[in-house]
Chain A
C-alpha cells in the first residue's frame, strides 16, 4: 500500500451508462493493492484524466457531444484503452436505432440551456477512438474486470456460455412450445432449452461463469456473440439459435423467431450485433475480445 505511487496507473471514464459497470468493478477489492486508481469520478475527487495512464477503462455509450470530447481526451492520455460493457460496445440499452417513436419523443424532450447536447443516437465508442480490448457484459463480472486489468493476453475464456453452465443437453426431452417466464419451475442439471426456455448460451461468449443459467435463468446474451459471429450480421447468430432450437425442441419456427425478436432479448442480442451494420466501425477481432 505504501508504495502505491509505483503501481500502474489506471483510470475509469464513465460516459452515458447506468454505473452498473463501475459497481461491478467495486465488487472486487483485489485491484486495491495492485493498481493505482488515478481517475474515476465515482470514487475519487478528480476532474481530469492525468497523463501517463497505463489502462483506461471506458464504460457507457457515447450519448452527448461532451462524451465525444472526453473520450478523445482520455484516449490521448492512456497507453491502453479497454471498452467495458454492452453500452460502450454497442451504445447499449440507450440506443434505439429502429424505434423512431422513441427516438423522436426522446429528442424532443432533451433540449436544455447550457447543457451538453444529446446526439441522435447512442454510439459504441470505437466509432470515435481506437480500442485495444473489448470487455463485453452487462455488466462484466468482477472476475472479468480483474482478468482485463491483470493479464488479458493469457486469459482462457470459455467460447460459449454452455461450456461453463454444466447443465446437460438431452436428446429425449423436446418441448413443444416456449415455457416463457410464467412457469417458474426449473429442473436442476438439465439444459434450459430442453425445458423450453429461450436460453442464448449456445451463441453467447462465455467468461461470466454462466452466472444466470446455473441457478436456472435463461441467458439473455449480455456477453455478446461468441467468436464465430463477431463482425457478422445479426442474422448469423439468429440462424445459429434457430438451428439449436430445431435440433433440440419441437417448438414451431415462428414461435422461436418471435421470441428472438423480442425487445427483451434484442436488448443484447440485436444491439450488440447491430454494430456490424455501422459501416464506419473498425472490425472487432477475436484477439481483441475478452
Chain B
C-alpha cells in the first residue's frame, strides 16, 4: 500500500489530503483537519451573555456568522424578538461577510489554479494578468475590502464584530457613512463583474485543458436561503434532493432529526449527513435552491449559469462560479439596503435572561450555521456548533476519490493529481478552524 499525503495551502486552516493506493487502485481518499479549536469545550461555565464576544474567535474568516448565530441562539433562550431594523443591519453585516469571503475564495484561493500560478500576486504578474488594464491583485483586494468596510460599519469592528447584541444591534448606520460606501460599491461593481467574467473565462479554459468540472454525481443540497429571498439572516433549513425536488424544510431546533453528525478517527473535524445521504452546502447549494436573487446583475449571471449548466447543476467546480455570482449579488444587495434608512428607528429592545436551550441559525458563506446553547443558572452548560464545512465532508471525500481514480492508473500516478486535489478541496472552500470548533 502506498499513501500519498498532500498538505494544503490556499484554504483556511491546517488540513491535508491522504490517498491510499494499493496495486495502482485507489483504496481510500480522505480530507483531514489537523488542528482542533475546541470552543465547544472551553465555553462551558462561561456566563451566557458573554459568549457572543468569545465565539467569533472560533474563526476570523467567518467571525460575523458566529457572532450573529450566537446572539440569535441566546435570543431564542431568552425569548427576545429584535426589532426589524436590527434584523436588517445584521443582514448588511452578513452581506459584508459574504463579500469578503467570496472575494477571498474566488481571487486569492482559486483564481491562481486557473492558470497554475502559485498565488494571486504571481497571477497578477503573469501574462494573463498583465493583459489587463489594471492590477488584478490590487482590484481583487479592493473589492474584498468593501466586505471589510461593511463589516466595520454594521459590526463595529473589522474582524470580530461587536455591534450585534442580544435584543438587536447597538446603533444604526448613519446616512453619510452609508452614502460613502454606496459610492465605493458603485465604483467597484463594474470591476467585480469584469473580474467575474475573467474568472469565468479562465475556468472554461482550464476545464478545456483538464477535461472535467469534477465530481458531478447528483447529491442532496442544504441551504437556509429562500427560493426568492436570499436572506442570510435566515430562519429555516431547506433541502434539495438529487433529482431537483425539494424535501420538507425544517427549523434549526429540529436539526438532529435530519442531520447526523459523527466524529472521525483520522481528522479533528466531524462528518455530517442528511438522513444518511451525502449532501453539499455552500454557494452551489444556495444557487440550486434559488429561483431568483432579486438583483439584476446577479440574476443575469444566474440565468446564464442555469442555461449553461442546468438546474440543479452538480459538478463541484460550479461552486466557484456560484461564489462569483453571489459576490455580485451581495454588492448589489448591500447597495440597495444601504440606500434605505438604517439610521432611524428602534435598534434594540430590553430582555430578561432566563435558563433554557436555544438555537441560532444563519446562512454563513459556507452554508447553514447553527449554534445551540444550554443555559443553566445563567452559565453555558453545554454548547454545540453545527458547522457548514462539516456538511460537506462526505462530498469532499467522494470528490477526492473521483479525482484520485482519474489520475491513478496502471501506468502510475499522474503529476496533475497534486494540483487536482487542491482544486477539489478549494471548490468546497472548507474552513478548518470552524470545522474543529
A93 interface residue per 8 A CB criterion:
yes
Of B119-127, B310-318, B360-368, the stretch lying at the interface with chain A is B119-127
Q: Please state if B45 and A99 are interface contacts (CB–CB under 8 Å).
A: yes
Closest Cβ–Cβ distance, residue A82 to chain B (whole Å): 18
Q: Please state if B44 and A101 are interface contacts (CB–CB under 8 Å).
A: yes
Residues of A within 8 A of B122 (CB): 44
CB within 8 Å for A141 and B41 given contacts A93-B57, A217-B170, A263-B50: no
**Given the complex of chains A and B, what is the CA–CA distance between A77 and B123 in angstroms?**
26
Q: Please state if A42 and B12 are interface contacts (CB–CB under 8 Å).
A: yes
Closest residue of chain B to A20 (Cβ to Cβ) is: B60
**Given the complex of chains A and B, what is the CA–CA distance between A109 and B436 in angstroms?**
11
Q: Please state if A45 and B119 are interface contacts (CB–CB under 8 Å).
A: yes
Residues of A within 8 A of B142 (CB): 29
Q: Which of A29, A93, A103, A181 contacts B165 (CB 8 A)?
A: A181
**Given the complex of chains A and B, what is the CA–CA distance between A65 and B157 in angstroms?**
33
B70 interface residue per 8 A CB criterion:
no
Residues of B within 8 A of A228 (CB): none
Residues of A within 8 A of B138 (CB): 29, 32
CB within 8 Å for A46 and B35 given contacts A105-B41, A263-B50, A264-B50: no
Q: Which of B35, B61, B63, B119 contacts A43 (CB 8 A)?
A: B119
Q: Please state if B61 and A23 are interface contacts (CB–CB under 8 Å).
A: yes
**Given the complex of chains A and B, what is the CA–CA distance between A200 and B142 in angstroms?**
33
Q: Please state if A112 and B46 are interface contacts (CB–CB under 8 Å).
A: no
A22 interface residue per 8 A CB criterion:
yes
A-B contacts, CB under 8 A, total: 196
The count of residues in chain A whose C-beta lies closer than 8 Å to any C-beta of chain B is 63
Closest Cβ–Cβ distance, residue B9 to chain A (whole Å): 4
B340 interface residue per 8 A CB criterion:
no
**Given the complex of chains A and B, what is the CA–CA distance between A99 and B38 in angstroms?**
13
Q: Please state if B268 and A18 are interface contacts (CB–CB under 8 Å).
A: no
Q: Which of B32, B42, B170 contacts A99 (CB 8 A)?
A: B42
Closest residue of chain B to A59 (Cβ to Cβ) is: B60
A216 interface residue per 8 A CB criterion:
yes
**Given the complex of chains A and B, what is the CA–CA distance between A253 and B273 in angstroms?**
52
Closest Cβ–Cβ distance, residue A144 to chain B (whole Å): 12
Residues of B within 8 A of A115 (CB): 32, 34, 266-268
Residues of A within 8 A of B54 (CB): 93, 263-264, 267
A47 interface residue per 8 A CB criterion:
yes
What 1/0 mask marks residues of chain B from 155 to 191 whose CB sits below 8 Å from any chain A CB?
Answer: 0111110110111101100000000000000000000
Q: Please state if A186 and B170 are interface contacts (CB–CB under 8 Å).
A: yes
Q: Please state if B41 and A106 are interface contacts (CB–CB under 8 Å).
A: yes
Q: Please state if A116 and B35 are interface contacts (CB–CB under 8 Å).
A: yes
CB within 8 Å for A45 and B268 given contacts A26-B108, A186-B170, A217-B162: no
Closest residue of chain A to B117 (Cβ to Cβ) is: A45
Q: Please state if B268 and A26 are interface contacts (CB–CB under 8 Å).
A: no
Residues of B within 8 A of A186 (CB): 170-171
CB within 8 Å for A263 and B144 given contacts A19-B59, A21-B60: no
9 pairs of residues in contact across A and B, judged by CB atoms under 8 Å:
A18-B433, A27-B148, A43-B10, A44-B9, A99-B44, A101-B44, A115-B32, A115-B268, A212-B162
Taking A18-B61, A19-B60 as given, write out 10 further A-B residue pairs in contact, using a Cβ cutoff of 8 Å, ordered by the A residue number.
A1-B124, A29-B138, A43-B121, A63-B36, A93-B39, A105-B41, A114-B266, A116-B35, A184-B171, A216-B170
